[in-house]
Chains A and B, each alone.
Chain A
Amino acid sequence: MRKVSTWEVLFVPLFFLLILYPILAILGNITLEGMVRTFNDPIFWDAVKNTLVTAFFAALLSVLMALGFAYFYIFHPGTIIYRIADFMNDLPIALPHTVAGLALLLAFGRNMFGFAGPTGLAFTLLAVVLAMFFVSYPLAARTIASSAEEIDREMISVARTLGDSPPQAYRRVVIPLLGEAIFSGFVLGFSRSISEFAAVIMFGGNVPGMTQVLASYVFTKVEEGEVSMAVTASAFCILISLLLVLFLRLEGKLHARSEKSA
């Protein structure tokens, strides 16, 4: 009989207790009444729309910025700009997201951006996008830069000797080879954006139908004592997250298969 190790004894029950059980607790508390009320609530659908649209633009901006970071990584790794950008990539991971939200509020709120409106950029959908971007960009940057690291530098050298300037070599050689990483960076950035709460609520606010996203909708419903609606909205979030994870896994498998057949 196979001997069971201490790691297995520790891992399996703790995994079920701490990871799966809370998810199941949400799913187990879904009620028909909660579903009917939530799905008939136009504010819920506004929050869904806001979440998907702002997360899409935050992920898009994250990927574009990550491609800029990867450009510095490939062509100017010794510069001070690259070093600062590389160091700062880890900061949003370690920073409490309320602090990130406050930082954005002070930087783009009415104090500095009063000309843009009574609250500056704060409490608008653009603020939601910027808050999501602030926390999702490092993930996209890490994903794309680590893939750029694997690209054979001789390819870039050859492209240069064939007449490409660095931006041309980046566009014609590097970006096409980063295709899968760009896609993964986008999906990861999108997932991270959807899950963001603290920075969004600090900078974007929680105005129902205006800047409220799914995460803040759930929070509001719990505060209002509408637990059945909060549970339904949470289950909806879990469904979106599971679809994203499945999407990433499927894409990873397809890529591995195409690499193998090549």
Chain B
Amino acid sequence: MLEAKNLHKSFGSHHVLKGVSLEVKPGEIQVLIGLNGSGKTTLQRILTGILEPDEGKVSIGGKDVTSSLPEDRLLGYVPQNTGLFRHLTVRDNILYSLKNGRGSEESFREAVELLDLESYLDWRPTQLSGGYKSRVALARALASSPRAMLLDEPISEVDRAKKEYVLPLFRQILLQLHIPVLYITHDPWEAGEIGTSYSIMRNGVVEGIASPEEAFSVIRQQARDSGE
């Protein structure tokens, strides 16, 4: 289980997270639809351990990790721009965690096979298309044998046509892992393609929603309110 309970975070007088709670079960892909300025980046940084919350608790696999360092959380993380190490080959990117005793040759081979990356192992990230970059980023996280996954707009650099192919592939692989997956996006269509459950983040709080369509109406309402 990936769990956040009553998270608060302020920067000076700006209260960014105002009691965020969420719960993601193993085998669930919960999509968090974050509206602009809703605090989703702050939440992502707290979940990965880059930031500490002012108040509240984060636990992964039943273990309280609120004060744990990012390297001790066993959380697979795929950021928005993939964060691939451009000085390393695809192979060395995916094998990165093995030097830290995370994952194994077997988890490496499995990730490469699942994401069909065999022919690209000696390529550099700069030679890859957006779709393949996000595949490598996912493979790198998977090869580290994480207890939970956090994907923050992992295919934002991929065009819509390719997303229609990549999203079902990612969904199938993530479900196969049977670990909690939190997938952050601002696109309700993308949410519908990959998620098994949905929540929306606005004004520093997270609310559960039944479907991505609900997010559409919230976004439309917000756009009307802000006069966009």
Q: Which residues of A contact B (CB under 8 A)?
A: 152, 154-155, 157-165, 168, 172-173, 176-177, 262
Contacts and interface: CB of A to CB of B under 8 A. Distances in A.
A168 B99 CA distance: 11
B85 A173 contact: yes
B86 A161 contact: no
Interface residues of B, number: 32
Contacts of B101: 163
Given A152-B83, A177-B86, A262-B124, A158 B77 contact: yes
B50 A160 contact: yes
Residue with the greatest number of chain B CB neighbours at <10 A, chosen from A160, A162, A172: A162
A162 B126 contact: no
Given A157-B77, A262-B127, A163 B102 contact: yes
B26 interface: no
B97 to A, nearest CB: 4
Residue with the greatest number of chain A CB neighbours at <10 A, chosen from B48, B71, B84, B141: B71
Contacts of A154: 79-81, 83
Contact of A164 (B71, B80, B87): B71
Given A162-B140, A162-B144, A163-B144, A157 B48 contact: yes
B212 interface: no
Given A163-B97, A164-B100, A165-B71, A158 B126 contact: no
A41 to B, nearest CB: 48
Contacts of A165: 69, 71
A150 to B, nearest CB: 12
Contacts of A177: 86-87
A161 to B, nearest CB: 4
Q: Is the interface of A mostly helix, strand, loop or mixed?
A: helix
Nearest to A161: B77
B96 A159 contact: yes
Nearest to B101: A163
A200 to B, nearest CB: 37
Given A160-B49, A161-B49, A262-B127, 16 more contacts: A152-B83, A154-B81, A155-B84, A155-B85, A158-B79, A158-B137, A159-B85, A161-B70, A161-B76, A162-B71, A162-B102, A163-B99, A168-B100, A172-B96, A177-B87, A262-B124
Nearest to B76: A161
B186 interface: no
Interface in B121-152: 124, 126-127, 137, 140-141, 144
Contact of B100 (A155, A163, A173, A176): A163
Residue with the greatest number of chain A CB neighbours at <10 A, chosen from B50, B137, B140: B50
Contact of A157 (B79, B127, B144): B79
14 contacts: A152-B81, A154-B83, A155-B85, A157-B70, A157-B77, A158-B83, A160-B50, A161-B49, A161-B73, A161-B141, A162-B141, A176-B87, A177-B86, A262-B124
A159 B96 CA distance: 8
A261 to B, nearest CB: 9
Residue with the greatest number of chain A CB neighbours at <10 A, chosen from B48, B70, B87, B126: B70
Contacts of B70: 157, 160-161
A186 to B, nearest CB: 19
B7 interface: no
Contacts of B100: 162-164, 168
A162 B99 CA distance: 9
A262 B86 CA distance: 10
B75 interface: yes
A168 B85 CA distance: 14
A162 B75 CA distance: 8
Contacts of B49: 160-161
Nearest to B70: A160
A155 B82 CA distance: 8
B100 to A, nearest CB: 3
B195 to A, nearest CB: 22
B97 A262 contact: no
